[in-house]
Structure 1
């Protein structure tokens, strides 16, 4: 019995070593929580702006937004992205230091390349939608491309991120049909789902 337990322990250790050699496993669950909180704050600011300017998202679907309103929404989205990226960098670096892992190596590079290619494509496509005044599709498209980016990067980091990506894609597709709820879908996808994912990852790997 003890011999079997020792063999299982050895296999578990070998698997951990293989994961460290092929995957970027320092990604912190707290970075997901921080990203989700940033998104909720951004959504609250956008909601405040729409209400203060008497803009009903469900009715206008973005068609009646002025140039100033569009620039404001873009600025908020950019700020949310910067806050999420900075918090992810901080918490991941802290987690790597805690476990004596390297923050930057070939695994990190592969993960980031596979993450940012779909993100860049999605950002360009969103810019095209804005150019053609199809603003009501921006939120669903952001969710779909972000989900694709997570799926693409999941091969090089924690496999749990794959499920987050699938949920983001599904939510984006649903929001594509119910375009009047794009802001709500964006809030759930980038806010609530990130927080839930971050908490689960934290308790699974970091406690």
Structure 2
């Protein structure tokens, strides 16, 4: 009996240490909403380029600026929604939103993401558009994997999927737009739904 209690105490201590070192208040619904925003943004981008009367997705002039604005708005709404839903979940769980674990998560997520974002802006400035979608997927996947060490570990699997999609997209540059839709749109919705029912719904 004492041995069982001892093992139970060790398990509880390990669980507390894991929670204290990881930010586990991420909301699965924020992933779903990010996917929806991505699909809406992709639909607008496709419509804009199609109406530019070009055979391929070549961006220049006003269309290029509109696509950049479209991407910015998708990212902005995704971040704001994630902050809102994550804050609400943290309050329900009696957890802090901004602490050492969330700071570590944010730093490790932003390092590869910002590095990739700056690199993409550089190549866009050189009017090289072909690998943009692939690079977005790859750097985003790396950011998820890097951040998973300080959050819900399962997000690394989404990171692996994003990287794989990015590499396939690099091999098939003519389909980069559709791989972007698959990675940032559909995969976010599918993975966010799974995370919601595994981590969020199970607690209520």
TM-score in terms of structure 1 length: 0.91
What residue number does 1:128 align with? 122
1:61–1:179 Cα contact (<8 Å) kept: no
Q: Distance in 1 between matches of 2:9 and 2:200?
A: 21
Query: How many matched pairs?
Result: 201
SS at match of 1:136: coil
The equivalent position to 2:76 in structure 1, one of 73, 79, 82, is: 82
What's the counterpart of residue 30 of structure 2? 31
Give the corresponding residue for 1:119. Answer: 113
Listed as ranges, the gaps of 5+ residues in structure 2 are none
Is the deviation greater in 65-74 or in 167-176? 65-74
What's the CA shift for 1:15?
Answer: 3.6
The aligned residue for residue 13 of structure 2 is 14
Structure-1 residue corresponding to 2:155: 161
1:49 and 2:48 correspond = yes
**Paired residues for 1:175-194 under 5 Å:** 175-194=169-188
Q: After the TM superposition, which parts of structure 1 deviate over 6 Å for at least 4 consecutive aligned residues?
A: none
Residues 198/11 of structure 1: CA separation in 2 closer, same or farther (3 Å cut): farther
Distance in 1, Cα, partners of 2:141 & 2:6? 38
Counterpart CA distance in 2 for 1:157 and 1:180 is: 35
SS, match of residue 104 in structure 1: coil
Contact 1:24 1:111 in 2 (8 A): yes
Secondary structure of the residue aligned to 1:26 is: coil
Following superposition, the deviation at residue 68 of structure 1 comes to 1.0
How far apart in 2 are the matches of 1:36 and 1:15? Answer: 34
Residue 136 of structure 1 deviates from its aligned partner by 1.4
Deviations 1:172-201 (A, max 9, x none): 010001111111011111111111111111
Normalising to structure 2: TM-score of the pair? 0.92
5+ residue gaps in structure 1?
A: none
Counterpart contact for 2:31–2:188, Cα < 8 Å: yes
Contact kept, 8 Å, 2:52 with 2:63, in 1: the verdict is no
Q: Is the 8 A contact 1:19 1:25 kept in 2?
A: no
1-side partners of 2:192 and 2:176: how far apart?
A: 23
Is 1:100 matched with 2:94? yes
CA apart distance, 1:20 = 1.4
